[in-house]
Structure 1
Amino acid sequence: MQKILYLLALLFGISSCVPNKKLTYLQDNSFSSGYAKTIPTQKILYRIQPNDVLSVRVQGATQEITNTLNTVNPANPNNSSDPGNMFLSGYSVDESGSINLPTVGKLSVKDLTVEEAQAAVQKQIGEYFTNTTVMVKLVSFKIVVLGAVSKPGYFYIFNGQATLLDALGLAGDMTVFGNRQNIKLVRQTAKGTEVVLLDLTKADVIKSPYFYLVPNDVVYVEALKAQSARNNIAPIGSLLGFITSAVLFLTFVGVLNIGK
């Protein structure tokens, strides 16, 4: 009996042990507390695509004009922080790549950056109204994080230069059993779906163009084999427990029979 319990404890300990090297992010032996090392990055300038949703805010015009054009109601600005409200009240980019602005008409924004779209909207509105300032934001920047994280789900991002680490932060970080060396990123492009594997234990991952997120990215964290082994301990333990109980019962019955 004691040997069986010892075996179970040994199996549990082995299956639960994850080396620290597999848990530490962005490892690089050249890092030092004495100076900062600069790592070149490949930041992505996202270009607006059909089905994106833009928030447009106009300042400086009359109240009537701002109420017509603005996707955010100045009388109730708190709603501007709600992704669902922004999605419903924003300007959807149609299949041709255009948004339809009240009074000023259609404007093509496909393949423009958000900054370029803001300049284009500013120019078009400026042809109708003077002394106005336009702000354009992308409000459909949504990502999905799945797998061995604390809080899997979908998240809205309001930072145009969000990274994989931001995504994991929103999801409550990876669990101890998340495989930091094999992060799967799924990205939709005009040519099809791209799938890439990234190793977050290496600092060089910062150089990857996939380190920075774009709308509709899916981040999947697979579990380490240690987690799978640990999950198998429960049924094995139950089986051994049953066998042990059966042996003890039969032994007890045997002792009674001998006594007779």
Structure 2
Amino acid sequence: MATIPKIHFDNVGKIFGTGPNAFIALEKLNLDIADGEIVTVVGPSGCGKSTAMNIVAGLQEATSGQCLVDGKAVRGPGPDRGVIFQQYALFPWLTVRRNVEFGLKLQGLPVAERRSRAMHYIELVGLADFADALPKMLSGGMKQRCAIARAYAVNPSVLLMDEPFGALDALTRVRLQDQLLDTWSRDRRTVMFITHDVDEAVYLAHRVIVMAARPGRLQEIIEVDLPFPRNEDIRLSPEFTEIRNRVWHAVYTRKSKAA
């Protein structure tokens, strides 16, 4: 019996506008993402990366085809999918703990249960000492960790991450990459992660999805045959370099030729 993919893009297309002003953001995207898999998505601006993720999240509707999660067509946002954007979108008047509790409160959980669950994920991302701090007291990396804890707290089976580390300094970015993989190793959630950073794409993923622009479409899928857990030795290995160069070539060399 065939295993149902966690996320299934079935000939998905997305067009913005009409007539001569129409823009094809996605064209005939067919892709399966397995349960517990980390997939990173790279490609030039305008290749439909964020559009594809927004369709999975239920924030946008496909113009053609359909997207399925656990075999069911996506009809809108749902608690089974947690979304993390580059901008942290924290409520500035709420503490870290109350920010993380927010989605649990909407779900109607009792106060004691949502506090317990929120603190579990706050500790998981290393913010226990800042649970009562307001966002203005946090660094950029700490704010992003708070956003990750908030997404995890509602217990989604899918994490959708749109360049979540893009605005951070290099050291913080590497630390959060390792923290993401450490958290994933404990719960094996499905992760779809958009990035412009080729090293990041290879380091995090089981597979790298390379998109091409005008119109946005799937160009190549590159397997990342590197062991977990990953660390600095992996980053410095010749195997990592080989895969990174292949992804770099797929994204940038072909982009230059197309231009």
TM-score normalised over the length of structure 2: 0.25
More helix per residue: 1 or 2? Answer: 2
